[in-house]
Amino acid sequence: MSVLPHKRKSPFGEPPAGYVPGLGRGAAGFTTRSDIGNMAKSEEGDTPEVGGSRSAEARAAKLAAQKKQGGGPSQQQGQSGYGENGARPPIEGQFDDNENEDDEADRIWQAIDDRMNAKRKKRSKPHQGAEPPTARVKIGAQFRDLKEQLATVSEEDWLKVPEVGDYSLKYKREQHRRRQDDTFIPLTDSLLESRSKHNLEQTKAGAANMAADGTATSSNIRGLGAARGTVLGMSLDKMSDNVGGQTVVDPKGYLTSLGNTQIASSAQVGDTNKARLLLKSVRDTNPKHGPGWIASARVEEAANKINKARKLIQEGCEICPDQEDVWLEAARLHPPAVGKSILATAVRRIPNSVKLFLRAADAEDSTDAKKAVLRKAIEANPTSITLWKHAIELEEADDAKVLLSVAVERVPQAVDLWLALARLETYDNARRVLNKARRALPSDRSVWIAAAKLEESQHHADLVDKIIDRAFKSLSKYSDDVIVTRAQWLVEAEQAEASGAPLTSAAIVRHSIGQGVEEEDRQRTWAEDAKVTIARGSISTARAILAHALQAFPSKRSLWMQAVELEKQHGTAESLDEILKAASERLPRVELFWLLRAKERWLAKDIDMARDILTQAFAVNPDSEEVWLAAAKLEWETGEIERARVLLQRARERAPSPRVYMKSALLEREEACWEEALALIDQGVKEHPEFAKLYMMAGQICANDLMPHDHTNLGKARKWLQKGLTKCPNNVILWILASRLEEKAHTYASNGDSSKPAPSANVGVTKARSLLELGRLKNPKSEHLWLEAVRLESRAGNIKMAETLMARALQDCPNSGILLAETILTASRVEKKSKSALAIKRCPESPLVICAVASLFASERKNDKARKWLERAVLLDPDQGDSWARYYQFEMQAGTEEQKENIRKRCAKAEPKHGELWQSVRKDMKNKRISDLKALELTVEKLKEQQAVATSSKE
């Protein structure tokens, strides 16, 4: 490294020759020996050799210029003896010592420079004179003359020049690697497959790069094509047979295997390598650990190196010859033929391994070979129940009997073998086998249950209960060793029922149902057991539980009702009649069971039997309103009107309830005997003045049925309704009927009196509005009155008033489902969603609200959501007929025939009784005695008419 300071480049470029910084302003300063350097003269003249800084070079240039002008600085100093700057000239001998020191310093620095130049091997042109002895001569310079002579060598001489050998270490390594590469090693299938995967990855990477920068080399494509052809050829060669070279590859299977080929990513390869290292350390640390060898083989198998996996597992078999899992893994990894030999070796090494024998039997193709393997296995392991079972499964019935007879002698504790032998034997032999099994296994309940099933199969019902009774007594002796809980016995009963032995199931229930149950908890516990078994589908077991419970509690109405419901849903008509008959005999004062039995007989078209049942009910309950009305309805529905009238007259004498008067008046109304009906109503009102339905019926007869529709009949209807409002001011329906009557008053004729003008519709609306307001004062927070007021204003065309009333109604009844549903149905399309969200938030369990939301989804063609919400509505309240009507209307528009039929069946089964539209259809006198299905269709028609009116009013 040079000791001279680094010269920085000036931003203004190189300075001109003779430039001295600051000279123009008198800032030249002192000039010392160190500034001007060695003043030795050069060969050309007096110009000194200058070295050092830029200022020293400038001063040296200044001195040279002065010499040229006047012969040096000493001649310009003048006579005064002072220089230009006022400095005295140097005296001779003053700087001699200093010059010696400077010379010594210059020599030292020169030596340092030489040393540094030698170290850096500075290249310089050779001097013209003799070179210093320390200079190093290059090899190229030494053979320069020989190189110049090479120009005269001819081509023949060049060819005769021998090759110079290379004996360097790098050359030797390269030659060794080439010799290894030239060695022929057959390629394995796994290597070819892994190489094909690698080529596929490279192809994908090249495609990605080409997609990124738009360039790709043709050499890579050619290389990939060649590699693909090579791998494909080797694969086809491998899959060809040895006879004629014809391929035996299934084209479909080959393409499927190519499609299922998975390419390992770099992360998966890294994980595989890590797993290899870990498992290698496991094998080295504990070579006798079989799972380590199995895991190592499976890692190689996952990496598609099946040969390496086989080598590893073979090594594991040699190191761990007593572990059956290692042998099983080796058999799995090898081809079937090799696997058989491996399993043969394994069973010789481990003759007590049942798994190895079973795997060896499965590896055989023919049944005879499997039998032979299993027989050898049984010889080596005569007490193995698993081997006996597998061997018996391969035999025919006769041979199986022989094997089972030997097996139960060798393994007497195997209850399954005893039971299997008993199933194969005849009845007498099966009894002997089960007796032997009971002696061999006195504490096993399965043998006793099998004996009971055997007797039941032979229709020996009396022996079934005896055997189960003996079983409980025998097992009680071993209660210290074997504990059978009540729940376990119930499970055995359900299993017996599932196997086709209901008598055995009932016997087990009778003997075990009371175990561990407190006296006061028996009814509740048994009722719950019956519900649980019904939910699991064990009907006979549940029937037996309820029968036992009814024997213990014969006067419990809830248990009888549970039994009736069981027979109604899962039994037959005969079984239902039997349970109802038993209930009627046990509880004769309960009219319900008499009525249910009579109804079932009537539905079965057995009218005489139904009359006999009701006659028996009369004898026990002479003053029962329900029985009298049921008897009258039976005659009424069968067309025996006179008999029905007689029964109702007797009922009015024996049980003069308001319902009896109402049914009597209804019968006369259906027969168009209006005066008789009004007379009966008048009589009933005198007996029961607070029964509102009589006033309603009288008002409807006068307003709708009596002809002609004039002011006379209108006045009669008003009087009846006014009388009803006076006696029953809290009945909301009376207020609604009175308001509707006033709303329609203008439609009645004026009795031919032209002097009185016909009342206008506005007058009727005003009177109806007044009645509804008065009704709300009498019945505050009545949602039905608010709804009727809103609808009244809507029918009158007062939309703003209707909206105002709806707002007031929601403030008065914020959680009313019927009002919230009305807001959804009458809202505009834009507001429907917000109204629906508010309604669901306030009243999420109302079927009316849910149906209204479903109608919104149906209007938006969201059929799946609409069906889901309608299904929820009918499940919440199956007695709401309007929900069924809306559901059926939706299925008629968007469903299939099967879905429509399903709704019809479910509606008929539910037998709905309530609903605004449903009741209006059912109570219409034109629709008397119609079925529920017909009522469903009529309700849908009425719903369509209502929707059409609402749509036209919006438009």
Report the 3 state secondary structure along 330-389.
HHHHCCHHHHHHHHHHHHHHCCCCHHHHHHHHHHCCCHHHHHHHHHHHHHHCCCCHHHHH
H/E segment holding residue 78: none
- The predicted model gives 844-866 an average pLDDT of 92
User: Contact, 614 vs 628, CB < 8 A?
Assistant: no
Summarised one tens digit per residue, pLDDT across range 328-350 is 999 999 998 898 999 999 999 99
Q: Is it the case that residue 462 has pLDDT exceeding 90? A: no
* DSSP secondary structure letter of residue 879: T
Q: Is it the case that residue 70 has pLDDT exceeding 60? A: no
H/E segment holding residue 16: none
* DSSP secondary structure letter of residue 571: S
Locus of tokens 């200079």:
135
* pLDDT computed for residue 195 by the predictor: 73
d(CA 314, CA 320): 10
Locus of tokens 């009185």:
756
| One-letter identity of residue 207 | A
| One-letter identity of residue 452 | A
Summarised one tens digit per residue, pLDDT across range 273-325 is 888 888 888 888 888 988 999 999 999 888 888 999 999 999 999 999 899 99
Q: Is it the case that residue 540 has pLDDT exceeding 80? A: yes
H/E segment holding residue 797: none
pTM equals 0.60
Phi, psi of 913 (to 5 degrees): -125, -15
Summarised one tens digit per residue, pLDDT across range 765-795 is 899 999 999 999 999 999 999 999 999 999 8
Please say whether the dihedral angle defined by the alpha carbons of residues 888, 894, 896 and 897, taken in this order, is positive or negative.
Answer: positive
Summarised one tens digit per residue, pLDDT across range 728-738 is 999 999 999 99
Beta bridge mates, 914: 880
Query: 253 falls in which pLDDT band (50, 70, 90)?
Result: low
Q: CA gyration radius for the chain?
A: 58
- The predicted model gives 761-767 an average pLDDT of 83
* pLDDT computed for residue 76 by the predictor: 42
Higher pLDDT, 259 or 3: 259
Task: Give the CA distances from residue 436 to residues 278, 427, 433, in Å, rounded to whole numbers and listed in that order.
Answer: 57, 14, 5
Helices 557-570, 591-603: crossing angle, 10 deg rounding: 10
User: Contact, 680 vs 656, CB < 8 A?
Assistant: no
Write out the two tokens for 10: 């000036």
Summarised one tens digit per residue, pLDDT across range 152-162 is 888 878 777 77
Locus of tokens 């005198």:
686
d(CA 537, CA 99): 128
Summarised one tens digit per residue, pLDDT across range 545-575 is 999 999 999 999 999 999 999 998 898 889 9
Q: Is 500 helix (H, G, I), strand (E, B) or coil?
A: coil
Q: Which of 140-144, 237-241, 329-333, 486-490 has the lowest mean pLDDT?
A: 237-241
* pLDDT computed for residue 311 by the predictor: 92
* pLDDT computed for residue 441 by the predictor: 86
Cis status of the peptide bond prior to 708, with omega within 30 of 0: yes
User: Contact, 591 vs 617, CB < 8 A?
Assistant: yes
Please say whether the dihedral angle defined by the alpha carbons of residues 816, 819, 825 and 827, taken in this order, is positive or negative.
Answer: negative
Q: Is it the case that residue 753 has pLDDT exceeding 60? A: no
What is the SS3 assignment for 814-860? CCCHHHHHHHHHHCCCCCHHHHHHHHHHHCCCCHHHHHHHHHHHHHC
d(CA 924, CA 713): 19
d(CA 311, CA 893): 70
Task: Give the CA distances from residue 821 to residues 372, 789, 850, 952, in Å, rounded to whole numbers and listed in that order.
Answer: 78, 15, 8, 20
* pLDDT computed for residue 92 by the predictor: 46
Phi, psi of 929 (to 5 degrees): 65, 25
| One-letter identity of residue 309 | A
d(CA 766, CA 759): 12
Q: What's the burial of 899, exposed, middle or buried (CB within 10 Å: 0-12/13-18/19+)?
A: middle
Please say whether the dihedral angle defined by the alpha carbons of residues 347, 351, 354 and 358, taken in this order, is positive or negative.
Answer: positive
* pLDDT computed for residue 516 by the predictor: 83
- Residue positions counted in the chain: 955
User: Contact, 687 vs 655, CB < 8 A?
Assistant: no
Alpha helices by DSSP H, listed for 79-143, are 96-119, 139-142
Higher pLDDT, 129 or 768: 768
d(CA 740, CA 735): 9
The residues, ordered by sequence, that sit 6+ positions from 626 with a Cβ below 8 Å of its Cβ are 591, 592, 595
- The predicted model gives 802-808 an average pLDDT of 92
d(CA 724, CA 681): 12
Q: Which of 134-143, 638-647, 874-883 has the lowest mean pLDDT?
A: 134-143
Q: Is it the case that residue 754 has pLDDT exceeding 50? A: no
Summarised one tens digit per residue, pLDDT across range 50-65 is 444 455 555 666 666 6
Q: Calculate the average pLDDT of the chain.
A: 80
Give Cα 933 distance to the centre of its chain: 40
Q: Which of 722, 662, 669 is nearest to 924 (CA)?
A: 669
Q: What's the burial of 97, exposed, middle or buried (CB within 10 Å: 0-12/13-18/19+)?
A: exposed
User: Contact, 568 vs 576, CB < 8 A?
Assistant: yes
Please say whether the dihedral angle defined by the alpha carbons of residues 282, 284, 286 and 287, taken in this order, is positive or negative.
Answer: positive
Query: 88 falls in which pLDDT band (50, 70, 90)?
Result: very low
- The predicted model gives 829-836 an average pLDDT of 90
Q: Which of 333-347, 360-374, 682-696, 737-751 has the lowest mean pLDDT?
A: 737-751
Write out the two tokens for 555: 């006067």
* pLDDT computed for residue 262 by the predictor: 57
Summarised one tens digit per residue, pLDDT across range 29-50 is 555 555 555 544 444 444 444 4
- The predicted model gives 698-705 an average pLDDT of 87
* pLDDT computed for residue 234 by the predictor: 62
Q: Is it the case that residue 68 has pLDDT exceeding 60? A: no
Q: What's the burial of 22, exposed, middle or buried (CB within 10 Å: 0-12/13-18/19+)?
A: exposed
Summarised one tens digit per residue, pLDDT across range 485-513 is 888 899 999 999 998 899 999 999 998 88
Q: Which of 616, 640, 638 is nearest to 627 (CA)?
A: 616
The residues, ordered by sequence, that sit 6+ positions from 638 with a Cβ below 8 Å of its Cβ are 607
* pLDDT computed for residue 804 by the predictor: 93
Q: Is it the case that residue 431 has pLDDT exceeding 70? A: yes
Helices 539-552, 502-512: crossing angle, 10 deg rounding: 40
Q: Is it the case that residue 932 has pLDDT exceeding 70? A: yes
Q: Is it the case that residue 915 has pLDDT exceeding 50? A: yes
* DSSP secondary structure letter of residue 11: T
Q: Is it the case that residue 21 has pLDDT exceeding 80? A: no
Query: 952 falls in which pLDDT band (50, 70, 90)?
Result: confident
User: Contact, 945 vs 897, CB < 8 A?
Assistant: no
> Maximum Cα–Cα distance for the chain, whole Å?
178
Q: Which of 312, 328, 323 is nearest to 349 (CA)?
A: 323
Alpha helices by DSSP H, listed for 461-606, are 461-476, 486-498, 502-512, 522-535, 539-552, 557-570, 573-586, 591-603
* pLDDT computed for residue 906 by the predictor: 93
d(CA 617, CA 729): 38
* DSSP secondary structure letter of residue 746: G
